[in-house]
Amino acid sequence: MTLYPAQSTFVRGEISPRLHSRASLDLYQASLAKCRNFVTLPHGGIRKRGGSYFVAPVKFETLTTRLIEFKFSEDQAYALEIGQQYCRVYAYGSLVTEFTTPWPHTHVMDLQYVQSADVMWLTHPLWPPYKITRRGATSWTTEPVMFVDGPFGQQNLDEARTVYATGTTQGIELVANTPTFSAADPGRIFRLEMESYRNIKPWEPQGLLAAQGVNPFGLRCRYDGNVYRCTTNFPNTAENGWRFGSTPPTHTKGAEPDGYVGPDASIDAAVGVEWTYEHSGYGLAIITGFVNAQRVTANALNFFPQETVGSANAGYRWSFGAFSPNNYPVAVTLFEERLVFASKLSVYASKTGDFSSFEVGEKDDDALEFLLAANEANDIVWLADADGFLAIGTIGGVRALSGSGVDEALTPSSFKNRSSSTQRCARKRPLNTGQAFLYVANGNRGVSEMTANQSGRFESADATQISEHITKQGGGIVSAAYAEYPDPMGWFALGSGEMMGFTYQAAQDVRGFHRQSLGGDGKILDVCVTPGRTGIDDVWMIVRRQIGAQTRTYIEMLQSPAEYGDPADDFFVDCGLSYNGAAVQTVSGLSHLEGQAVDVLADNIKLSGLKVQGGQVALPLGKAASKIHVGLPFKAEADTLELDVGAKDGSLVGRQKRVSEVILSLMETDITGLQIASLVKGRWEQVKLPSIATGADKAPRFTGNVRVLIDDSWEGQGRIQIRHSGPTACTIRSMTPAFDATP
């Protein structure tokens, strides 16, 4: 008896050969043995991917180059080409400007970054943090991140090791009595505390200090019937002053004509005043030059107290900034209005709303420092804002840092550091899909899907387990990006030069992997995604190609098929360009494809095998067209799994089968480019519609069902091959083979 099992969905994409006999699994009926240059759709079908549009060669074609998205808003987005100490800015396929950067090309792939409005912060384990600032469409700058106050490393407490400053403002020197500095210190922050500052204890009753005779700053106070308001003769800015309880002080220098001068224990006791000195009590400097191990040049970031100037005032309470060549941040993110860095086992968060200040304290908006406490000392590799949690990716898994209560902000007095049951993390930024995080697993061989459970803990699963062969055969994941429109899809550049796509919609249980290989044997080196001008996300790629005897490296953009539109707008060629204007017989501007055989779609007429000569292509037979697409050809291929619909006596897996015909449900497909064959015989049958009289060069779109008779063998497993070639569209909604099986 002939059976007609319909495969109406392909949402699981290309699955591992390890699963090719697991017909009992639900996912088996929604899977393919091969899915190359097709993408799986959330609706169930497969669609031929769009072609790639040529943008420009990278600046240094033999050196490593990186693409990073810069998204100011949905309608102002850029792709940054970062290479050998430069950055080029592209917007919607066009070069905007170029500016200098500090990183050599060998370091750009390890940059991590986060962006807020016009500023992007970038980290690298061998570089201090930098920021890229957009000051206008064509005005961009790169500069080191300037930290106003911290974070700092461990303070020196060895009283025999002292440092003093030679001045109070700019152009000073810091002088140590023992070897303290190194040639790697320029650019680091240095903090030097005044010795007398430690004689004043915070929140000490004023009368007690008066009894101790401590008033080193010439304190002046007056009582206005409510609180004391105080000033000091310390020569600094309005940041000086004394605070009483939670009431802000005044900051006016000089004598108070109606004032009470000096401490008074009886008044203190009557009103219960407690106070602390508001001035930092220390000087901050940025080290600018190395003289020797005991002397460096520096510029003061605040006014150095006189009590730290000169050898007589040398103090032992000093500390370097926490970030150094052995401890530069490796990751950065924004979380609850704080800028957060991570290095090794530590997390440093800025003050709330002040991304340059890392001064720790007890107030809720003070900066934070955390050392991850866990059973294992696993280095941090990325950070991410995970909807109320600071997700911390480590080489051992993901940890979560948050406030101690439900929906409670993270503060110095309210924090919770929790482990989770997650997979190990690679040193690549995770992708936020809106429903979950996708992150590259340790070893770059897989993708983990991370969600928060009902108890607020993270858990992850290996999303690539059913398609593990793609990343293993592909040499691992090099880079990753996520596109939301027109279909939710992760893109992963592989070490093999292919790209793995992942159609992902967790709410609908859509998880399908597919492979993309570019025409002309182009090798994809990197990928990023930006919002496109038409509402469809732009997928940018760096592609290495062999053009004649030359190795070229290009920026190309993956195009989305023009569904529901004019078939003449179809762009299904790689490294291609388009012409739209008055009818012409020759297309120029193709020097990037010199000597290559190309496909052409000219006013919806297909032309193949034309050669680029002198940077141009001439249409044959004197033809002219007004809408022309030219580029390298590629094929889309799909292979089905062994058929199994069950039998009275069990499974049909392993039994001999023969397919006699295939019924395809198509949508907006150029049938003239569609062929089908059995896996065993391999004889390709052209899909035809006898009722439609069109020339072979025409490319009409067809929607509906077609029947194709094929030549199969009883030695087979009932597996079918599908391929589509030419510069036109193909969408397969479902497939129904007609087959017979041996008892």
Asked which of 565, 597, 632 is the last residue of a domain, the reply is: 632
Is residue 32 domain-resident?
yes
Q: ∠ CA(710), CA(711), CA(714), 5° rounding?
A: 125
Is residue 238 domain-resident?
yes
Which range scores top for mean pLDDT: 100-109, 414-423, 706-715?
A: 100-109
Backbone angles phi, psi at 279, to 5 degrees: -65, 150
pLDDT, tens digit (0-9, with 9 covering 90-100), for 167-198: 988 899 999 999 999 998 988 889 998 764 33
Question: In the structure, what pLDDT confidence band is assigned to residue 257 with cuts at 50, 70 and 90?
Answer: very low
Q: How far is CA 470 from the centre of its chain?
A: 22
User: What pLDDT sits at residue 649?
Assistant: 55
Same domain for 189 and 286, yes or no, is yes
User: What pLDDT sits at residue 195?
Assistant: 63
Same domain for 287 and 182, yes or no, is yes
* pLDDT above 90 (res 5): no
Asked which of 613, 632, 651 is the last residue of a domain, the reply is: 632
Same domain for 180 and 202, yes or no, is no
Is residue 603 domain-resident?
yes
Task: Give the mean pLDDT of 536-543.
Answer: 95
Task: Give the mean pLDDT of 197-213.
Answer: 35
Same domain for 234 and 316, yes or no, is no
Structural domain that includes position 181: 163-194+282-320
Q: How many other CB atoms sit within 10 Å of the CB of residue 383? A: 28
Same domain for 175 and 214, yes or no, is no
User: What pLDDT sits at residue 447?
Assistant: 94
Same domain for 671 and 724, yes or no, is yes
Same domain for 223 and 314, yes or no, is no
Say which amino acid occupies 569. D
pLDDT, tens digit (0-9, with 9 covering 90-100), for 19-63: 998 888 889 889 999 999 999 999 999 999 999 999 999 999 999
Residue in this structure with the two tokens 């033999």, named with its chain if needed: 62
pTM for the full model? Answer: 0.84
Same domain for 642 and 698, yes or no, is yes
Task: Give the mean pLDDT of 122-134.
Answer: 95
Residue in this structure with the two tokens 């009483």, named with its chain if needed: 244
Residue 162, SS3 per DSSP: coil
* pLDDT above 70 (res 540): yes
Out of 258-267, 286-295, 517-526, 695-704, pick the least confident: 258-267
Same domain for 590 and 716, yes or no, is no
Question: In the structure, what pLDDT confidence band is assigned to residue 243 with cuts at 50, 70 and 90?
Answer: very low
Is residue 653 domain-resident?
yes
Same domain for 580 and 728, yes or no, is no
Same domain for 186 and 296, yes or no, is yes
Query: Hey, what are 304's tokens?
Result: 């150095």
Question: In the structure, what pLDDT confidence band is assigned to residue 239 with cuts at 50, 70 and 90?
Answer: very low
* pLDDT above 90 (res 627): yes
User: What pLDDT sits at residue 281?
Assistant: 67
Is residue 598 domain-resident?
yes
Strand partners, 636: 724
Is residue 379 domain-resident?
no
Tell me, what CATH number does 726's domain have? 2.60.120
Alpha-carbon gap, residue 648 to 516, rounded angstroms? 40
Question: What separation in angstroms does the CA of 476 have from each of 446, 479, 517, 660?
Answer: 8, 9, 15, 40
Asked which of 267, 290, 320 is the last residue of a domain, the reply is: 320
Residue in this structure with the two tokens 């190795």, named with its chain if needed: 551
Q: Which residue has the higher pLDDT, 220 or 544?
A: 544
Is residue 491 domain-resident?
no
Is residue 599 domain-resident?
yes
pLDDT, tens digit (0-9, with 9 covering 90-100), for 673-724: 999 998 888 889 999 875 654 444 556 789 999 999 988 777 677 789 999 9
**Number of structural domains in the chain:** 4
Backbone angles phi, psi at 142, to 5 degrees: -125, 135
Alpha-carbon gap, residue 25 to 18, rounded angstroms? 13
Same domain for 695 and 653, yes or no, is yes
